[in-house]
Amino acid sequence: MSEEKKEKVTKEPKEAKIYHALISFGILVFAMVVGIMKYKVDVHIPMFIGVIAAACMALYLGYDWDTIETAMKDGIYNALQAIIILSIVGILVGVWILGGIVPAMIYYGLKILSPSIFLVAAMLICSVTSLATGTSWGTMGTMGLALMGIAVGLDIPAPMAAGAIISGAYFGDKMTPISDTTNLAPAMAGTDVFTHVKFMVLPTAIAYGISLVLYGVLGFVHSSSGSADMSAVREMSNGLAENFNISPILLLPPVIVIVAVAMKIPAIPGITLGIISGLIIGMITQNNASFGEMLDCGMNGYSCETGIESLDSLLSSGGLMSMMSSISLTIIAMMFGGIMERTKQLEVLVSKIVRIAKKPASLVVTTEATCVMCNALMPEQYISIVVPGRMYAQTYKEKGLHPKTLSNALESAGTVSSALIPWNTCGVYILGVLGVSTFKYLPFAFFNLITPFIVAIMAYMGYTVADSDGYRLTKKAQKKKKLAMEQQTQ
């Protein structure tokens, strides 16, 4: 048979229909729910079952295996920057703990605790701890436990205390460049982590400020005249001071990273500056922080052995190897996204959804709603960022919106709403460590509740929507853009 005839015999792949996409997603959702809820397994293998489902659907549609494999590779390639950043973040955390930087941030955070403003202080302390460690779970499982004990002594209702702890923990998880979700959201959207964090500052600051005011009012109403049991906090503070040389100079590496963000230095060199400065300052200030120990902690993380269980649990962290779980999940999720994009299953699904989101602000709200739905249907925080991120990335681009608009929506709904769903892995974890059910603390988790609404409201005002050049869609920002363009043409 001639080559010409072979080409005629070769069939073009079928056009993906909405039910094809729903079957692929339905299998993914089913695998997630059964795997996570019934068998308590990690999200990775259920996610891989979704990859198998998407690949089988692609074969059914008529795509050959080479095309499917290329689609998976392309998906992974799109996440390579995030994988690199996650790797060096793991190194940074290990170096910063051994070098005393993270312990110093926690130590000074504990010093602001005051029984008369417990709820405000609890949020601030958990914010500092989560910013320093990049983990909301670690913060709630350590600082959160200590603060819950203090709340009992202050006669503050447990749901209120839990709400303040959760709000602080998720603020740090949302805003710190060393958090896996903070790196995952911009990776899915197609921007860098520093651009992402900077764009989140305004709406997050407003939500945070409102939350602090509400906790201040609640704290005043429920303040107790009795003395609080501060033994747990004192024990942690003393443990930090005894095992690390605490000094204000240890706060310099975080300042360097913040300055790097302000100066628009790319994420990879910016975080690397934090590693180098932490390594140098750590070796100077900490007796046990030799160069060899620093290298080992950068690889395998720090193993804390102070004898204080809560402190050892919090500071036994970091290292390149600690990020392998997040990296492998990113790879598997991008395999799924790559297939769904290449076979246009995502396109057909998104086309149905975006019909109701004709304006940029409506698209932001739709994205947030999708994130919350994913947290409920596929009860895992990472998936609520990955799936909507891959679903809407192209749509934002087609509408002339900067990827940071999408990454902000993903983080502001996907990350924070996970704690508000009882059967989500985050809601289950919080119940286990804080001993308060989701429906009891939900009315008091102000930051988690307020943030998605603030972002949605500000989207209609133009503050959380940016055009392809990065300018917000406010009249003032667009006027500034027009002026800048006129100056360039002159």
Lowest mean pLDDT among 32-41, 97-106, 207-216: 32-41
Which DSSP state fits 149? H
Using CA atoms, how far apart are residues 471 and 116, in angstroms rounded to an integer?
Answer: 43
Secondary structure class of 222 (helix, strand, coil): coil
The number of residues in the chain equals: 490
What is the CB neighbour count within 10 angstroms for residue 230?
A: 17
401 has pLDDT over 90: yes
For residues 196 and 408, what is the distance between their CA atoms, to the nearest angstrom?
Answer: 7
175-189, 216-230, 362-376, range with the lowest pLDDT: 216-230
User: DSSP string covering 240-290, please?
Assistant: HHHHS---GGGGHHHHHHHHHHHTT--HHHHHHHHHHHHHHHHHHH-TT--
Mean pLDDT of the chain: 86
Structural tokens at position 389 = 């991120």
Q: What is the pLDDT of residue 358?
A: 77
Average confidence (pLDDT) over 215-234 = 71
**Residue closest to 336 by CA, chosen among 4, 31, 49, 29:** 49
Whether 7 shows a pLDDT value over 80: the answer reads no
With 0-12 / 13-18 / 19 or more C-beta atoms within 10 angstroms meaning exposed / middle / buried, residue 208 is: buried
- Which residue from 24, 379, 364, 349 is spatially nearest to 199, judged by alpha carbons? 364
At residue 225 the predicted structure's pLDDT band, cuts being 50, 70 and 90, is very low
Q: Is the pLDDT score of 447 beyond 60? A: yes
Q: What is the pLDDT of residue 9?
A: 45
Tokens of 160: 């209120």
Residue that wins the pLDDT comparison between 171 and 142: 171
- Mean pLDDT over 443-454 rounds to 97
User: Per-residue pLDDT tens for 249-276?
Assistant: 998 988 887 787 667 677 788 889 989 9
Provide the pLDDT confidence category of residue 349 given band limits of 50, 70 and 90. confident
The end-to-end CA distance of the chain, in Å, is 64
Report, as an integer, the average pLDDT of 354-360. 81
Per-residue pLDDT of 131-153, as tens digits, reads 887 878 878 876 786 788 677 65
Burial class, 237, CB count within 10 angstroms (exposed 0-12 / middle 13-18 / buried 19+)? buried
Which tokens belong to 72?
């998976």
Least confident range from 16-20, 47-51, 180-184, 260-264: namely 260-264
Question: Could you read off the pLDDT of 455-476 as tens digits, one per residue?
Answer: 999 999 999 999 998 889 888 8
With contact defined as beta carbons under 8 Å apart, do 94 and 297 qualify? yes
pLDDT at 36: 78
Residues 86-134 have pLDDT tens digits of 788 789 889 999 999 888 888 887 777 666 788 999 999 899 888 887 8
pLDDT of 421: 86
**For the whole model, what pTM was predicted?**
0.74
Query: Quick one: pLDDT at residue 411?
Result: 95
**pLDDT above 80 for 4:** no
**Dist. CA 35–CA 23, nearest whole Å:** 18
Q: What is the pLDDT of residues 193-207, one digit of tens each?
A: 889 999 999 999 999
Q: What is the pLDDT of residue 213?
A: 96
